[in-house]
Amino acid sequence: MLETSNPGSNAGVIIHDLSIRYAEQIIPLDSLDLDEVLAEPNLQLSGSISGSVSEGLRIITEQTFRYGFRKKVTETEAEVTGRTRFRANIRLHNGINGLTLKIVDAGGCVLDKKQFDLHYKGSFREWNETIFIAFLLAILIRGLVMQAFWIPTGSMEPTLFGEKRNVYNQLERSGDRILVSRFAYVFDLSLDGRIPFGPRIWFKMPERGDIIVFKYPDPNINAPSKDYIKRVVGLPGDRVEIDRQGILYINGVPLYEPYIAEPPLSEFAPRTVPKDSLFVLGDNRNNSADSRYWGWMPLKNLKGQAVFNYLPLNRISPIRSYSHDLTPKAALQDNY
């Protein structure tokens, strides 16, 4: 806001009719919204003085702005273009520029002054802010909402295709590109552990039949992080078993699995899933490194649920879970 004081009112000299030349326009300062952010740094400030104007009066412009982490103040003398008119060239700096106009007599006494603020943001700063905001949004979307993944192997076939090469190591088929919802189960403000104090807010637990992406629980803590994709078949507290015929049992109930490539050739002795873990398997049971070999999948490693296959174009489709009803009657109907 414009502030006016008149400590030297006894002299009767005042400043008035202030205007700025901005973007080839002359705008009266009284009609300018002083909260408006200007995009042009070079301005010409002009105005008038009236009263008992005498020789030796000077008009001082004082500009205050932030320079790095400190404030800087500069003073210049305005050019008097007539007995009652003056002008001053002002160069604005990024941020808030505090401007003070003072009429000073020959003895250094301030006869009148006006104070106001002008806001300026340069195009370079605006571009930087835009890029920074876009970068921040990309990180947040990738870390908290949706993330793209590539399927490199055939462990989830026939549901999801991996990369395929011939005997000459020539690429015959690229792996599916999928989108994973980071928001399906948990709101991870730690960004996969990058922010140690960031909480993980759970919405719901994964269900049997969900296809999930998680960080591989490598016992070597110094090993590079790897992401795996598998299907959830065992929840915390479930008793899991695979018999000689390759049939998967959950809590003694055979699981109907129409999505697998073929029954597994190896057995899995009955075990109970710990309360903080999941039992996950690949749909291509005989070509999948999963919980049968490296153990339980810790819930803390969960990244999200696979929801959409967006490449290649001929395989664009939602990725659906398979809901398993473990009641004996439902399981019997499913299997027959």
- The residues assigned a catalytic role are 155, 230
Q: Backbone phi, then psi, for 13, in 5-degree steps?
A: -100, 125
Give dist(CA 275, CA 277) in Å, integer: 6
Contact 120, 200 (CB under 8 A): no
To which H or E segment does residue 15 belong?
strand 14-22
How far CA 80 is from CA of 31, 47, 85, 112, 305, in Å, comes to: 24, 10, 6, 16, 72
Contact 182, 304 (CB under 8 A): yes
Tokens of 196: 């140690």
Say which amino acid occupies 218: D
What 3-state DSSP class applies to 322? coil
Say which amino acid occupies 310: Y
Give dist(CA 306, CA 146) in Å, integer: 10
DSSP class per residue in 151-220 = --SSTTTTTS---EE-TT--EEEPPPEEEEETTSSEEETTTTTTSTT--EEE-----TT-EEEEE---S-
